Amino acid sequence: MTTMTWPKLLSAERLGNNKPTGQDAARSDFHKDHDRIVFSSAFRRLGRKTQVHPMSENDHVHTRLTHSIEVAAVGRSLGVMAGHHLAKKMPAGIAPTDIGAIVQAACLAHDIGNPPFGHAGEYAIRDWFCQEQNRALLAPLSELERKDLQTFEGNAHGFRVVTQLENHRFAGGLRLTYATLGALLKYPWTVEHAGDREKFSCYQAELPLLSCIAEQLGLIEIGHQRWARHPLSYLMEAADDICYAILDLEDGIEIGVLGYEQVEPILVQMIGDSTELHEELAEAPTTRRKISLLRGQAIQRLVNAAALSFARHHDSLMAGEIEHDLLATCPAHVIDSLNEAKHLARTKIFNTRQKVEIEVGAYTTLDVLLETFLTAVYQQKTSGTLSFRAKRTLDLMEHNVPERDWPLYLAYMRVLDFIGGMTDNYAGYLARQVGGLTQ
């Protein structure tokens, strides 16, 4: 049976450099990955990107930045616990804290490629490229290049951000370790294998990098341009699932679309009902404190369950045989409570009127931006001369302006780099400016 091995999966060599930077008194190579992500511009911009509630005026509601930090904290705990469970299987010199650092770094970067307006932004970009009136711009592209654009994916764009766009531009990006990059790859394949869920982690532009990373880590190739997931990516995914299942409900209470009495039974079920828990809740002076207490204990219970499940399914994970998420392998009461939390969020939170209004508006904003900048790039590529408007439009792109002799696909990708990197606020501002809607 083909299986992956931990010495290769935990490689500290770096993309674009191929040498570990070396452990010092303060930081291992994997801790340095964490710091490179935290200090990147793309990570900082997550502070003004939508998590669930676009442009919320409530400062307690999550942004992509606070969500990513919290997911990273949970991921670190998951990694350390899993590392303790598997201590005898780890290579010499690898401690549980190293596993925690790898998962933590991957969690920090898991949403770094999300466009403005969150998932609504993803759908808006996909929709623009699928509209009949815009198909002429895609005619010169290959089928898979067209699919990349018509299936714009935050995971794939995040992989592009950390491997291409930040720091060492198109020379390794952040130059993260192969171990962290492997843990980040939730869907280590191209759009060719996206399936009905339309999920993939690599554009055609980054395929050579994905192939290199897979070879360095010893990921099992399970199809053409498709690899088995790095086992630690399941911990990254579990940390994300745990956080949004619980914290979406907390945000729902903050914005007034859920009552505490709707949320408490779900979290109590996750934790396990007890007299001691109810006594602690009775002593809590405010709703916010009650939720904080329940949140902490629920996360801990889910982390314990996920880490234990990771250890139990170790051999299947190493053989690339697990096709579902890690939490789906947990005990029934864990799965049931998570499903109940997600159902409540879908029915009561995701369809609030203000959220829907802003998401519909996101389509208009992104339509204006895509039309403006892609038309200018297309004209640059296909016309002998540029109109004044096209020249000034390209000036706005600054270092993202493609060269005239580049393939059209790569030129379009630079437009998506520019627009996808915008915050909600800046996307709205620039759309008003270039759309002639300023007062």
Predicted pLDDT at 253 = 86
Q: What is the mean pLDDT of residues 230-234?
A: 97
Phi first, then psi: give them for residue 45, nearest 5 degrees: -70, -15
Q: What is the mean pLDDT of the chain?
A: 91
Query: What pLDDT sits at residue 27?
Result: 82
pLDDT for position 121: 92
Spatial CA neighbour of 242 closest among 315, 306, 152: 306
- What is the percentage of the chain residues whose pLDDT exceeds 90? 73
Query: 304-328, pLDDT tens digit by residue?
Result: 999 999 999 999 999 999 988 999 9
pLDDT digits (tens, 9 = 90+) for 46-105: 988 876 555 555 556 778 899 999 999 999 999 999 999 999 999 988 999 999 999 999
How would you write 173-189 as a 3-class SS string? Answer: ECCCEHHHHHHHCCCCE
Q: Taking residues 222-232, report their average pLDDT.
A: 95
The backbone region for 18, taken as left when phi is positive above 0, alpha when psi lies in -120 to 50, beta otherwise, is: left
Q: 177-202: per-residue pLDDT in tens?
A: 999 999 999 999 999 999 888 999 99
For 378-384, what is the mean pLDDT? 88
- Taken in order 310, 313, 315, 317, the sign of the CA dihedral is negative
DSSP codes joined into one string, 278-309: HHHHHH--SHHHHHHHHHHHHHHHHHHHHHHH
User: CATH 1.10.3210.10 occupies which residues in the chain?
Assistant: 7-231
CATH number for the domain whose boundaries are 237-348: 1.10.3410.10
Q: How far apart are CA 234 and CA 224, in angstroms?
A: 22
Which CATH architecture is the domain 353-434 placed in? Orthogonal Bundle (1.10)
- Is pLDDT at 427 greater than 60 in this prediction? yes
> For residue 357, what pLDDT is reported?
81
Q: Which residue has the higher pLDDT, 18 or 139?
A: 139
Q: What is the DSSP string of 336-357?
A: HHHHHHHHHHHHHTTT-HHHHH
Could you read off the pLDDT of 21-55 as tens digits, one per residue?
A: 766 767 889 999 999 999 999 999 998 887 655 55
Q: At 233, is the pLDDT very low, low, confident or very high (cuts 50, 70, 90)? A: very high
pLDDT at 315: 95
- Ranges for all domains in the chain classified under CATH 1.10.3410.10: 237-348
Domain at 7-231, CATH from 3.30.590.20, 1.10.3210.10, 3.40.1110.10, 1.20.200.10: 1.10.3210.10
Q: With CA atoms as reference, report the closest residue to 244 among 68, 46, 45.
A: 68
| Of residues 277 and 349, more confidently modeled | 277
pLDDT of residue 1: 66
User: How confident is the model over 414-438, as a mean pLDDT?
Assistant: 91
pLDDT of the residue at 51? 60
Return the amino acid letter for 166.
Answer: E
- For residues 278 and 284, what is the distance between their CA atoms, to the nearest angstrom? 10
Domain with CATH 1.10.3550.10 in the chain: 353-434
**Do 233 and 179 touch, CB atoms closer than 8 A?**
no
